[in-house]
Amino acid sequence: MKDQVVLRIITKLLVPYMLVFGVYVIAHGELGPGGGFQGGVILAAGFILYGLVWGKEELHRFVPRRVTDLLAAGGVLLYSGVGVATMALGGRFLDYSMFNADNKGDGEALGMLLIEYGVGITVCTVMITIYDMISEPEDVA
């Protein structure tokens, strides 16, 4: 793909918008269509497109493998941590209303937002890892 100038330029222009849209879908998932899974897939598609056009090594410079591994674990910990926190506050697992006993709606909005972020981070990084595992090495002609 090194000689595909138009494809590289279009990718450089498109990927930032894909990433912003993915974050938007994650952040507004509790209010409308979308959510952590859909936004995570959109984010991963942006990173994977970058890797397909610019190469795996360039993707690893942009998002190192260690970072994706840590973020995948961090997303799962965020999700489960919200559930454990609600239990520690005296509620059931993922009973978001426990975050704000005075105004339960505010607590639910916070809990759902944290869950959406946890799912989005996990889905994005796991999809990048799957792409990394099944893609061919750079030196294959």
pLDDT reported for residue 106:
76
Residue pair 28/34 in contact (Cβ under 8 Å)? The answer is: yes
Amino acid at 31: L
From the first residue on, what is the mean pLDDT of each consecutive set of 10 residues in the chain (141 residues)? 87 96 90 88 97 91 95 96 92 87 78 92 96 76 48
The answer to whether 110 and 116 are in contact (CB under 8 A) is: no
Residue type, 135: S
Residue 114 structure tokens: 């944290």
Using H for helix, E for strand and C for coil, what is the string for the chain? CCCCHHHHHHHHHHHHHHHHHHHHHHHCCCCCCCCHHHHHHHHHHHHHHHHHHHCHHHHHHHCCHHHHHHHHHHHHHHHHHHHHHHHHCCCCCCCHHHHCCCCHHHHHHHHHHHHHHHHHHHHHHHHHHHHHHHCCCCCCC
The values of phi and psi at residue 4, to 5°, are -95, 80
- Give the Cα separation of 96 and 26 in Å (integer): 18
